Amino acid sequence: MFDIAIIGGGVIGGMLARQLSRYQLSVCLLEKESDVAMGATKANSGIVHGGYDPEPGTLKAKLNAEGVQKLYDVADEIHAPYRKNGSFVCAFGTPEEEATVRALYERGLVNGIKGLEILTGDEARALEPALSDKVSLVLHVTNAGIVCPYELTLAAIGNAMDNGVALKVEFAVSAIERTQKGFAVIAESGARVEAAYVVNCAGAYADRIAAMVGDDFFTIIPRAGEYMLLDKNEGARVSHTIFQVPSAEGKGVLVSPTVDGNLLTGPTAVKVGAPDHTETTPAGLETVARLAAKSVPSVNFRQVITSFSGVRASEKRGDFIIEPARSVQGMLHVAAIDSPGLTSCVAIADYAIELLREMGLATVEKADFNPVRENPHAFREMSDEEKDAYIKAHPAYGKIVCRCETVSEGEIRDAIRRNPPARDIDGVKRRTRSGMGRCQGGFCMPYVMRLIAEENGVAMERVTKKGADSYQLIGKL
Protein backbone atom coordinates (compact mmCIF):
# COMPACT_ATOMS: atom_id res chain seq x y z
CA MET A 1 0.00 0.00 0.00
CA PHE A 2 1.48 3.35 -1.10
CA ASP A 3 0.58 6.79 0.24
CA ILE A 4 0.31 8.16 -3.29
CA ALA A 5 0.01 6.64 -6.76
CA ILE A 6 0.75 9.02 -9.64
CA ILE A 7 -0.65 8.00 -13.02
CA GLY A 8 1.55 9.21 -15.91
CA GLY A 9 5.33 9.42 -16.18
CA GLY A 10 5.57 12.64 -18.20
CA VAL A 11 7.25 15.80 -16.99
CA ILE A 12 4.28 16.60 -14.72
CA GLY A 13 3.97 13.20 -13.02
CA GLY A 14 7.76 12.92 -12.93
CA MET A 15 8.33 16.33 -11.36
CA LEU A 16 5.51 15.71 -8.88
CA ALA A 17 7.19 12.42 -7.89
CA ARG A 18 10.47 14.28 -7.42
CA GLN A 19 8.95 17.06 -5.32
CA LEU A 20 7.04 14.49 -3.19
CA SER A 21 10.20 12.44 -2.64
CA ARG A 22 11.44 15.06 -0.14
CA TYR A 23 8.71 13.95 2.30
CA GLN A 24 8.25 10.82 4.42
CA LEU A 25 5.80 9.31 1.95
CA SER A 26 5.70 6.15 -0.14
CA VAL A 27 5.09 7.15 -3.75
CA CYS A 28 4.56 5.02 -6.85
CA LEU A 29 4.72 6.38 -10.41
CA LEU A 30 2.71 4.38 -12.96
CA GLU A 31 3.43 4.65 -16.69
CA LYS A 32 1.76 2.70 -19.49
CA GLU A 33 4.72 2.80 -21.90
CA SER A 34 8.03 0.92 -21.59
CA ASP A 35 9.77 4.16 -20.54
CA VAL A 36 8.94 7.52 -19.03
CA ALA A 37 8.64 10.80 -20.98
CA MET A 38 6.88 9.13 -23.91
CA GLY A 39 3.88 11.46 -24.31
CA ALA A 40 3.78 15.22 -25.00
CA THR A 41 6.93 15.47 -22.92
CA LYS A 42 8.90 13.71 -25.64
CA ALA A 43 7.77 15.90 -28.53
CA ASN A 44 7.48 19.60 -27.81
CA SER A 45 9.42 22.83 -28.38
CA GLY A 46 11.42 22.64 -25.15
CA ILE A 47 11.02 26.35 -24.51
CA VAL A 48 11.05 27.88 -21.04
CA HIS A 49 8.38 30.50 -21.76
CA GLY A 50 8.90 33.89 -20.15
CA GLY A 51 5.28 34.18 -18.93
CA TYR A 52 3.98 37.10 -21.03
CA ASP A 53 1.46 34.97 -22.94
CA PRO A 54 -1.15 33.51 -20.51
CA GLU A 55 -4.23 35.59 -19.66
CA PRO A 56 -3.73 37.33 -16.30
CA GLY A 57 -5.66 35.67 -13.48
CA THR A 58 -5.41 32.16 -14.92
CA LEU A 59 -3.55 29.25 -13.34
CA LYS A 60 -1.33 29.29 -16.44
CA ALA A 61 -0.29 32.89 -15.74
CA LYS A 62 0.42 32.21 -12.06
CA LEU A 63 2.29 28.93 -12.52
CA ASN A 64 4.23 30.10 -15.59
CA ALA A 65 5.44 33.20 -13.73
CA GLU A 66 6.41 31.18 -10.64
CA GLY A 67 7.67 28.28 -12.69
CA VAL A 68 10.53 29.79 -14.69
CA GLN A 69 12.99 30.32 -11.83
CA LYS A 70 11.79 27.18 -10.04
CA LEU A 71 12.56 25.19 -13.18
CA TYR A 72 16.06 26.65 -13.53
CA ASP A 73 16.75 25.94 -9.82
CA VAL A 74 15.61 22.31 -9.96
CA ALA A 75 17.38 21.76 -13.29
CA ASP A 76 20.63 22.89 -11.60
CA GLU A 77 20.08 20.41 -8.76
CA ILE A 78 19.33 17.44 -10.98
CA HIS A 79 21.79 18.34 -13.75
CA ALA A 80 19.22 18.73 -16.50
CA PRO A 81 20.78 20.86 -19.24
CA TYR A 82 19.15 24.22 -20.08
CA ARG A 83 20.23 27.55 -21.54
CA LYS A 84 18.81 31.01 -20.87
CA ASN A 85 18.99 32.15 -24.48
CA GLY A 86 16.08 34.65 -24.39
CA SER A 87 13.24 34.78 -26.90
CA PHE A 88 11.92 37.18 -29.53
CA VAL A 89 8.24 37.62 -30.44
CA CYS A 90 8.22 39.26 -33.85
CA ALA A 91 5.79 41.53 -35.68
CA PHE A 92 6.13 41.79 -39.44
CA GLY A 93 5.21 45.39 -40.21
CA THR A 94 1.43 45.37 -39.76
CA PRO A 95 -0.14 47.70 -37.18
CA GLU A 96 -2.15 44.75 -35.75
CA GLU A 97 0.95 42.64 -35.13
CA GLU A 98 2.86 45.56 -33.64
CA ALA A 99 -0.09 46.24 -31.33
CA THR A 100 0.02 42.58 -30.29
CA VAL A 101 3.73 42.88 -29.40
CA ARG A 102 2.93 45.91 -27.20
CA ALA A 103 -0.07 44.16 -25.66
CA LEU A 104 2.08 41.11 -24.80
CA TYR A 105 4.61 43.40 -23.15
CA GLU A 106 1.84 44.96 -21.01
CA ARG A 107 0.39 41.54 -20.22
CA GLY A 108 3.81 40.33 -19.15
CA LEU A 109 4.09 43.24 -16.71
CA VAL A 110 0.66 42.38 -15.26
CA ASN A 111 1.80 38.75 -14.90
CA GLY A 112 4.82 40.00 -12.93
CA ILE A 113 7.46 39.10 -15.53
CA LYS A 114 10.80 40.90 -15.35
CA GLY A 115 13.34 41.39 -18.12
CA LEU A 116 10.92 42.32 -20.93
CA GLU A 117 11.84 44.95 -23.50
CA ILE A 118 10.56 46.12 -26.87
CA LEU A 119 13.10 46.33 -29.69
CA THR A 120 12.82 47.83 -33.15
CA GLY A 121 13.51 45.49 -36.05
CA ASP A 122 17.03 46.93 -36.46
CA GLU A 123 17.81 46.59 -32.74
CA ALA A 124 16.66 42.97 -32.89
CA ARG A 125 18.74 42.27 -36.03
CA ALA A 126 21.79 43.69 -34.28
CA LEU A 127 21.39 40.88 -31.73
CA GLU A 128 20.17 38.27 -34.23
CA PRO A 129 21.57 38.95 -37.72
CA ALA A 130 19.66 36.14 -39.46
CA LEU A 131 16.29 37.66 -38.55
CA SER A 132 14.14 38.64 -41.55
CA ASP A 133 14.39 42.26 -42.65
CA LYS A 134 10.56 42.30 -42.61
CA VAL A 135 10.58 42.09 -38.79
CA SER A 136 9.55 45.55 -37.55
CA LEU A 137 8.98 45.23 -33.79
CA VAL A 138 10.05 42.60 -31.26
CA LEU A 139 9.23 41.67 -27.69
CA HIS A 140 12.54 40.53 -26.19
CA VAL A 141 12.03 38.14 -23.27
CA THR A 142 15.34 37.86 -21.46
CA ASN A 143 14.35 35.23 -18.85
CA ALA A 144 13.17 32.73 -21.49
CA GLY A 145 15.26 29.67 -22.18
CA ILE A 146 15.55 26.24 -23.74
CA VAL A 147 15.63 22.87 -21.98
CA CYS A 148 15.61 19.27 -23.15
CA PRO A 149 12.16 18.12 -21.99
CA TYR A 150 12.83 14.40 -21.82
CA GLU A 151 16.21 14.81 -20.14
CA LEU A 152 14.56 17.03 -17.54
CA THR A 153 11.94 14.32 -16.93
CA LEU A 154 14.49 11.49 -16.80
CA ALA A 155 16.54 13.54 -14.33
CA ALA A 156 13.51 14.32 -12.14
CA ILE A 157 12.37 10.70 -12.09
CA GLY A 158 15.91 9.43 -11.54
CA ASN A 159 16.28 11.76 -8.56
CA ALA A 160 12.83 10.72 -7.26
CA MET A 161 13.80 7.04 -7.52
CA ASP A 162 17.12 7.67 -5.80
CA ASN A 163 15.01 9.15 -3.00
CA GLY A 164 12.74 6.10 -2.75
CA VAL A 165 9.97 6.55 -5.35
CA ALA A 166 8.90 3.29 -7.06
CA LEU A 167 8.46 3.36 -10.86
CA LYS A 168 6.28 0.82 -12.66
CA VAL A 169 6.45 0.97 -16.46
CA GLU A 170 4.15 -1.01 -18.79
CA PHE A 171 1.45 -0.35 -16.22
CA ALA A 172 -1.48 0.84 -18.35
CA VAL A 173 -4.15 1.87 -15.86
CA SER A 174 -7.52 0.51 -16.97
CA ALA A 175 -9.61 0.78 -13.78
CA ILE A 176 -9.63 2.54 -10.44
CA GLU A 177 -11.62 1.05 -7.56
CA ARG A 178 -12.39 2.43 -4.11
CA THR A 179 -11.05 0.37 -1.21
CA GLN A 180 -11.48 0.82 2.54
CA LYS A 181 -8.16 2.69 2.81
CA GLY A 182 -8.12 4.51 -0.54
CA PHE A 183 -7.85 3.17 -4.05
CA ALA A 184 -6.85 0.10 -6.02
CA VAL A 185 -5.32 1.15 -9.34
CA ILE A 186 -5.57 -1.72 -11.79
CA ALA A 187 -3.57 -2.21 -14.98
CA GLU A 188 -4.66 -3.84 -18.25
CA SER A 189 -2.25 -6.69 -17.37
CA GLY A 190 -4.17 -7.33 -14.13
CA ALA A 191 -1.38 -5.87 -11.96
CA ARG A 192 -2.67 -3.82 -9.04
CA VAL A 193 -1.31 -1.01 -6.88
CA GLU A 194 -3.07 0.26 -3.75
CA ALA A 195 -2.68 3.82 -2.53
CA ALA A 196 -4.36 6.27 -0.15
CA TYR A 197 -4.26 9.09 -2.75
CA VAL A 198 -4.22 9.00 -6.55
CA VAL A 199 -2.98 11.83 -8.79
CA ASN A 200 -4.03 11.87 -12.43
CA CYS A 201 -1.15 13.18 -14.58
CA ALA A 202 -2.08 11.19 -17.69
CA GLY A 203 -1.62 14.01 -20.23
CA ALA A 204 -3.84 13.60 -23.29
CA TYR A 205 -5.48 10.59 -21.58
CA ALA A 206 -6.38 12.47 -18.37
CA ASP A 207 -10.10 12.60 -19.21
CA ARG A 208 -10.14 8.82 -19.66
CA ILE A 209 -8.52 8.35 -16.23
CA ALA A 210 -11.05 10.83 -14.73
CA ALA A 211 -13.91 8.84 -16.27
CA MET A 212 -12.68 5.74 -14.37
CA VAL A 213 -13.91 7.37 -11.14
CA GLY A 214 -17.01 8.92 -12.73
CA ASP A 215 -15.65 12.44 -13.38
CA ASP A 216 -16.65 13.95 -16.70
CA PHE A 217 -16.30 17.68 -16.07
CA PHE A 218 -13.45 18.13 -18.58
CA THR A 219 -12.66 16.76 -22.02
CA ILE A 220 -9.21 16.76 -23.53
CA ILE A 221 -8.98 18.08 -27.10
CA PRO A 222 -5.79 16.60 -28.63
CA ARG A 223 -4.00 19.14 -30.87
CA ALA A 224 -0.96 17.95 -32.77
CA GLY A 225 2.14 19.97 -33.55
CA GLU A 226 4.60 18.91 -36.25
CA TYR A 227 8.32 19.77 -36.21
CA MET A 228 11.47 19.49 -38.27
CA LEU A 229 14.82 19.12 -36.51
CA LEU A 230 17.93 20.23 -38.35
CA ASP A 231 21.54 19.07 -38.16
CA LYS A 232 24.00 20.71 -35.79
CA ASN A 233 25.62 22.61 -38.63
CA GLU A 234 22.40 24.72 -38.69
CA GLY A 235 22.33 24.96 -34.87
CA ALA A 236 23.95 28.38 -34.68
CA ARG A 237 21.66 29.93 -37.31
CA VAL A 238 20.00 31.84 -34.44
CA SER A 239 20.88 32.11 -30.77
CA HIS A 240 17.48 33.32 -29.47
CA THR A 241 14.19 31.47 -29.79
CA ILE A 242 12.30 33.28 -32.55
CA PHE A 243 8.49 33.36 -32.31
CA GLN A 244 5.98 35.17 -34.46
CA VAL A 245 3.08 36.99 -32.77
CA PRO A 246 0.66 34.36 -31.47
CA SER A 247 -2.72 33.64 -33.02
CA ALA A 248 -5.85 31.88 -31.75
CA GLU A 249 -4.12 28.63 -32.72
CA GLY A 250 -1.25 29.09 -30.28
CA LYS A 251 2.23 30.49 -30.16
CA GLY A 252 2.91 29.82 -33.84
CA VAL A 253 5.93 28.38 -35.61
CA LEU A 254 9.28 29.07 -33.96
CA VAL A 255 12.90 28.78 -34.98
CA SER A 256 15.13 27.90 -32.06
CA PRO A 257 18.44 26.38 -31.15
CA THR A 258 18.17 23.33 -28.90
CA VAL A 259 20.28 22.66 -25.82
CA ASP A 260 22.04 19.93 -27.77
CA GLY A 261 23.06 22.31 -30.56
CA ASN A 262 20.54 21.47 -33.29
CA LEU A 263 18.00 23.85 -34.85
CA LEU A 264 14.29 23.22 -34.23
CA THR A 265 11.44 24.52 -36.40
CA GLY A 266 7.71 24.09 -35.73
CA PRO A 267 5.08 23.38 -34.48
CA THR A 268 1.81 23.42 -36.38
CA ALA A 269 -1.45 23.26 -34.40
CA VAL A 270 -4.08 20.87 -35.75
CA LYS A 271 -6.94 19.15 -33.90
CA VAL A 272 -6.56 15.37 -34.14
CA GLY A 273 -8.75 12.48 -33.09
CA ALA A 274 -6.29 10.39 -31.11
CA PRO A 275 -4.28 11.25 -27.99
CA ASP A 276 -1.36 9.18 -29.30
CA HIS A 277 -1.19 10.78 -32.75
CA THR A 278 2.47 10.84 -33.88
CA GLU A 279 2.19 11.30 -37.64
CA THR A 280 3.84 14.04 -39.62
CA THR A 281 2.35 15.10 -42.94
CA PRO A 282 3.73 16.74 -46.10
CA ALA A 283 1.26 19.62 -45.63
CA GLY A 284 2.24 20.10 -41.98
CA LEU A 285 5.97 20.10 -42.71
CA GLU A 286 5.53 22.48 -45.66
CA THR A 287 3.68 24.86 -43.33
CA VAL A 288 6.54 24.64 -40.82
CA ALA A 289 9.15 25.37 -43.51
CA ARG A 290 7.17 28.30 -44.95
CA LEU A 291 6.50 29.98 -41.60
CA ALA A 292 9.99 29.36 -40.21
CA ALA A 293 11.45 30.97 -43.36
CA LYS A 294 9.24 34.01 -42.76
CA SER A 295 11.17 34.71 -39.52
CA VAL A 296 14.59 33.43 -40.57
CA PRO A 297 14.82 33.21 -44.40
CA SER A 298 18.29 31.60 -44.42
CA VAL A 299 17.30 28.36 -42.64
CA ASN A 300 18.66 25.55 -44.81
CA PHE A 301 15.95 22.87 -44.88
CA ARG A 302 18.27 20.48 -46.75
CA GLN A 303 19.79 19.90 -43.30
CA VAL A 304 16.65 18.36 -41.78
CA ILE A 305 17.62 15.15 -39.97
CA THR A 306 14.23 14.14 -38.62
CA SER A 307 10.62 15.22 -38.19
CA PHE A 308 8.20 14.45 -35.39
CA SER A 309 4.85 15.36 -33.95
CA GLY A 310 3.54 15.86 -30.39
CA VAL A 311 0.01 16.15 -28.99
CA ARG A 312 -1.11 19.02 -26.77
CA ALA A 313 -3.67 18.04 -24.11
CA SER A 314 -5.86 21.11 -24.59
CA GLU A 315 -9.25 21.83 -23.02
CA LYS A 316 -12.00 24.24 -24.01
CA ARG A 317 -11.46 26.56 -21.00
CA GLY A 318 -7.88 27.14 -22.13
CA ASP A 319 -6.45 26.81 -18.62
CA PHE A 320 -4.73 24.08 -16.61
CA ILE A 321 -7.19 21.94 -14.61
CA ILE A 322 -5.60 21.19 -11.25
CA GLU A 323 -8.32 20.26 -8.82
CA PRO A 324 -9.67 17.42 -6.68
CA ALA A 325 -11.90 14.83 -8.30
CA ARG A 326 -15.58 15.65 -7.96
CA SER A 327 -16.94 12.10 -7.74
CA VAL A 328 -14.53 10.63 -5.16
CA GLN A 329 -12.41 11.91 -2.30
CA GLY A 330 -8.64 11.41 -2.30
CA MET A 331 -7.96 11.85 -6.02
CA LEU A 332 -6.44 14.92 -7.69
CA HIS A 333 -6.55 15.76 -11.40
CA VAL A 334 -3.55 17.57 -12.89
CA ALA A 335 -4.99 17.80 -16.37
CA ALA A 336 -5.13 19.89 -19.54
CA ILE A 337 -1.45 20.68 -19.09
CA ASP A 338 -0.71 22.04 -22.53
CA SER A 339 1.80 24.83 -23.07
CA PRO A 340 3.36 26.29 -20.88
CA GLY A 341 3.22 23.03 -18.92
CA LEU A 342 6.89 22.19 -19.34
CA THR A 343 7.95 25.64 -18.12
CA SER A 344 5.53 25.44 -15.19
CA CYS A 345 6.26 21.81 -14.20
CA VAL A 346 7.92 22.53 -10.85
CA ALA A 347 5.33 25.18 -9.94
CA ILE A 348 2.55 22.77 -10.98
CA ALA A 349 4.05 20.01 -8.80
CA ASP A 350 4.32 22.36 -5.80
CA TYR A 351 0.74 23.59 -6.33
CA ALA A 352 -0.51 19.98 -6.56
CA ILE A 353 1.23 19.21 -3.25
CA GLU A 354 -0.53 22.20 -1.62
CA LEU A 355 -3.88 20.81 -2.81
CA LEU A 356 -2.99 17.30 -1.56
CA ARG A 357 -2.25 18.83 1.86
CA GLU A 358 -5.68 20.49 1.82
CA MET A 359 -7.10 17.06 1.00
CA GLY A 360 -5.50 15.67 4.19
CA LEU A 361 -2.04 14.46 3.11
CA ALA A 362 0.56 14.87 5.86
CA THR A 363 3.93 16.03 4.50
CA VAL A 364 6.85 15.61 6.90
CA GLU A 365 10.29 16.37 5.44
CA LYS A 366 12.80 13.50 5.18
CA ALA A 367 16.12 14.11 6.88
CA ASP A 368 18.01 12.26 4.15
CA PHE A 369 16.39 13.73 1.00
CA ASN A 370 19.13 14.27 -1.57
CA PRO A 371 18.11 16.99 -4.06
CA VAL A 372 21.17 16.41 -6.23
CA ARG A 373 21.38 13.95 -9.08
CA GLU A 374 24.82 13.10 -10.34
CA ASN A 375 25.59 14.68 -13.73
CA PRO A 376 25.23 11.90 -16.34
CA HIS A 377 27.16 14.02 -18.83
CA ALA A 378 30.19 14.68 -16.64
CA PHE A 379 32.39 12.76 -19.10
CA ARG A 380 31.22 14.83 -22.09
CA GLU A 381 32.12 18.00 -20.25
CA MET A 382 35.71 16.95 -19.37
CA SER A 383 38.77 18.44 -21.08
CA ASP A 384 40.75 16.10 -23.36
CA GLU A 385 43.38 15.60 -20.62
CA GLU A 386 40.68 14.74 -18.04
CA LYS A 387 39.04 12.35 -20.51
CA ASP A 388 42.37 10.67 -21.14
CA ALA A 389 42.92 10.08 -17.43
CA TYR A 390 39.33 8.88 -16.95
CA ILE A 391 39.57 6.43 -19.86
CA LYS A 392 42.73 4.91 -18.36
CA ALA A 393 40.74 4.02 -15.25
CA HIS A 394 37.48 3.22 -17.12
CA PRO A 395 38.35 1.79 -20.58
CA ALA A 396 34.70 1.51 -21.70
CA TYR A 397 34.68 5.32 -22.00
CA GLY A 398 37.36 5.08 -24.65
CA LYS A 399 35.19 3.01 -27.00
CA ILE A 400 33.00 5.26 -29.14
CA VAL A 401 29.67 3.66 -30.04
CA CYS A 402 27.84 6.60 -31.66
CA ARG A 403 30.18 8.47 -33.95
CA CYS A 404 27.74 11.24 -34.89
CA GLU A 405 27.26 12.33 -31.28
CA THR A 406 30.51 10.89 -29.82
CA VAL A 407 28.86 8.65 -27.22
CA SER A 408 30.99 6.00 -25.52
CA GLU A 409 30.22 2.49 -24.35
CA GLY A 410 30.77 3.61 -20.74
CA GLU A 411 28.04 6.25 -20.98
CA ILE A 412 25.62 3.75 -22.52
CA ARG A 413 26.27 1.12 -19.86
CA ASP A 414 25.70 3.82 -17.19
CA ALA A 415 22.37 4.77 -18.80
CA ILE A 416 21.24 1.14 -18.63
CA ARG A 417 22.20 0.92 -14.94
CA ARG A 418 21.19 4.36 -13.62
CA ASN A 419 17.64 5.32 -12.48
CA PRO A 420 15.37 5.22 -14.43
CA PRO A 421 17.16 2.44 -16.35
CA ALA A 422 17.11 2.47 -20.16
CA ARG A 423 15.44 -0.78 -21.25
CA ASP A 424 15.36 -0.38 -25.02
CA ILE A 425 17.14 1.29 -27.95
CA ASP A 426 15.11 4.50 -27.81
CA GLY A 427 15.61 4.62 -24.05
CA VAL A 428 19.38 4.64 -24.58
CA LYS A 429 18.96 7.26 -27.28
CA ARG A 430 17.03 9.68 -25.06
CA ARG A 431 19.52 9.28 -22.20
CA THR A 432 22.81 9.41 -24.11
CA ARG A 433 22.01 10.85 -27.60
CA SER A 434 23.36 7.68 -29.19
CA GLY A 435 21.35 7.48 -32.45
CA MET A 436 20.25 11.14 -32.34
CA GLY A 437 22.76 12.38 -34.87
CA ARG A 438 22.97 12.68 -38.62
CA CYS A 439 22.78 8.94 -39.31
CA GLN A 440 19.88 8.48 -36.82
CA GLY A 441 21.28 5.22 -35.42
CA GLY A 442 22.26 3.61 -38.72
CA PHE A 443 25.76 2.76 -37.45
CA CYS A 444 25.44 2.47 -33.68
CA MET A 445 22.18 0.55 -33.26
CA PRO A 446 23.63 -3.02 -33.34
CA TYR A 447 26.33 -2.05 -30.80
CA VAL A 448 23.68 -0.45 -28.54
CA MET A 449 21.55 -3.60 -28.83
CA ARG A 450 24.50 -5.76 -27.79
CA LEU A 451 25.10 -3.60 -24.70
CA ILE A 452 21.42 -3.74 -23.68
CA ALA A 453 21.43 -7.52 -24.15
CA GLU A 454 24.64 -7.94 -22.15
CA GLU A 455 23.59 -5.67 -19.29
CA ASN A 456 20.22 -7.42 -18.94
CA GLY A 457 21.48 -10.94 -19.60
CA VAL A 458 19.09 -11.52 -22.52
CA ALA A 459 19.53 -12.53 -26.18
CA MET A 460 19.83 -9.71 -28.71
CA GLU A 461 16.60 -10.95 -30.34
CA ARG A 462 14.75 -9.88 -27.16
CA VAL A 463 15.97 -6.26 -27.35
CA THR A 464 13.28 -3.86 -28.56
CA LYS A 465 13.31 -0.42 -30.11
CA LYS A 466 10.58 0.95 -27.83
CA GLY A 467 9.04 -1.82 -25.74
CA ALA A 468 6.11 -4.13 -26.60
CA ASP A 469 6.93 -6.19 -29.72
CA SER A 470 9.20 -3.68 -31.48
CA TYR A 471 11.93 -6.32 -31.93
CA GLN A 472 14.71 -5.53 -34.41
CA LEU A 473 16.01 -9.08 -34.97
CA ILE A 474 14.03 -12.23 -35.69
CA GLY A 475 16.78 -14.86 -35.37
CA LYS A 476 20.17 -16.00 -36.65
CA LEU A 477 20.91 -16.78 -40.30
Distance from C-alpha of 5 to C-alpha of 30, rounded to nearest angstrom: 7
192 Cα distance to chain centroid? 28
Which H helix or E strand runs over 48? strand 47-48
Q: Decide: is 32 part of the binding site for ligand FAD (CB under 6 A).
A: yes
Q: Candidates 136-144, 154-162, 338-346, 446-454: pick the segment binding ligand FAD (CB under 6 A).
A: 338-346
- Active-site position among 49, 140, 240, 333: 49
Closest distance to ligand FAD from the beta carbon of 255 (Å): 13
Q: Candidates 124-132, 196-204, 404-412, 446-454: pick the segment binding ligand FAD (CB under 6 A).
A: 196-204
Which H helix or E strand runs over 91? strand 87-91
Q: Decide: is 9 part of the binding site for ligand FAD (CB under 6 A).
A: yes
Q: Decide: is 311 part of the binding site for ligand FAD (CB under 6 A).
A: yes
CB 338 within 8 A of CB 314: yes
Q: Which is nearer to ligand FAD, 220 or 402 (CB)?
A: 220
Closest distance to ligand FAD from the beta carbon of 403 (Å): 30
Q: Which of 68, 11, 156, 59 is nearest to 354 (CA)?
A: 59
Q: Which is nearer to ligand FAD, 105 or 320 (CB)?
A: 320
Distance from C-alpha of 344 to C-alpha of 19, rounded to nearest angstrom: 13
Q: Candidates 106-114, 197-205, 366-374, 421-429: pick the segment binding ligand FAD (CB under 6 A).
A: 197-205
Rounded to 10 degrees, what is the CA torsion of 285, 291, 293, 296? -130
Closest distance to ligand FAD from the beta carbon of 278 (Å): 11
Closest distance to ligand FAD from the beta carbon of 397 (Å): 31
Choose which of 205, 243, 379, 397 interacts with ligand FAD (CB under 6 A).
Answer: 205
> What is the chain's alpha carbon radius of gyration, rounded to the nearest angstrom?
22
Q: Decide: is 339 part of the binding site for ligand FAD (CB under 6 A).
A: yes
Taking each continuous run of H as one helix and of E as one strand, the counts in the chain are 12, 22
Binding residues for ligand FAD, how many (CB under 6 A)?
41
* 277 tagged catalytic: no
Which H helix or E strand runs over 68? helix 59-78
Q: Decide: is 173 part of the binding site for ligand FAD (CB under 6 A).
A: yes
Q: Which is nearer to ligand FAD, 257 or 340 (CB)?
A: 340
Closest distance to ligand FAD from the beta carbon of 413 (Å): 26
Q: Decide: is 145 part of the binding site for ligand FAD (CB under 6 A).
A: no
In eight-state DSSP terms, residue 395 is: G
Choose which of 34, 45, 265, 280 interacts with ligand FAD (CB under 6 A).
Answer: 45
Q: Which residue of this chain has its Cβ atom nearest to ligand FAD in the complex?
A: 341
Distance from C-alpha of 461 to C-alpha of 473, rounded to nearest angstrom: 5
Q: Candidates 32-40, 158-166, 413-421, 432-440: pick the segment binding ligand FAD (CB under 6 A).
A: 32-40
Q: Candidates 45-53, 110-118, 417-425, 456-464: pick the segment binding ligand FAD (CB under 6 A).
A: 45-53
**Alpha-carbon distances, residue 332 vs 14, 93, 456 (angstroms):** 15, 46, 37
Closest distance to ligand FAD from the beta carbon of 439 (Å): 26
Q: Decide: is 10 part of the binding site for ligand FAD (CB under 6 A).
A: yes
Which 49-88 residues touch ligand FAD, going by CB under 6 A? 49
Distance from C-alpha of 371 to C-alpha of 18, rounded to nearest angstrom: 9
Q: Decide: is 258 part of the binding site for ligand FAD (CB under 6 A).
A: no
Q: Decide: is 353 part of the binding site for ligand FAD (CB under 6 A).
A: no
Spatial CB neighbours of 61, under 8 Å, sequence gap ≥ 6: 51, 54, 55, 111
Q: Decide: is 182 part of the binding site for ligand FAD (CB under 6 A).
A: no
φ/ψ of residue 151, rounded to 5: -65, -40
Choose which of 340, 376, 410, 427 interacts with ligand FAD (CB under 6 A).
Answer: 340
DSSP readout, 219-244?
Answer: --EEEEEEEEEE-GGGTTS-SSEEEE
Which 312-331 residues touch ligand FAD, going by CB under 6 A? 312
| E strands, 275-367, in order | 304-314, 321-324, 331-335
**Alpha-carbon distances, residue 114 vs 46, 69, 99, 105 (angstroms):** 21, 11, 20, 10
In eight-state DSSP terms, residue 6 is: E
150 Cα distance to chain centroid? 5
- The site for ligand FAD (CB under 6 A) is made up of 7-13, 30-33, 38-41, 44-47, 49, 171-173, 201-205, 209, 225, 267, 310-312, 337-343
Query: What are the catalytic residues?
Result: 49
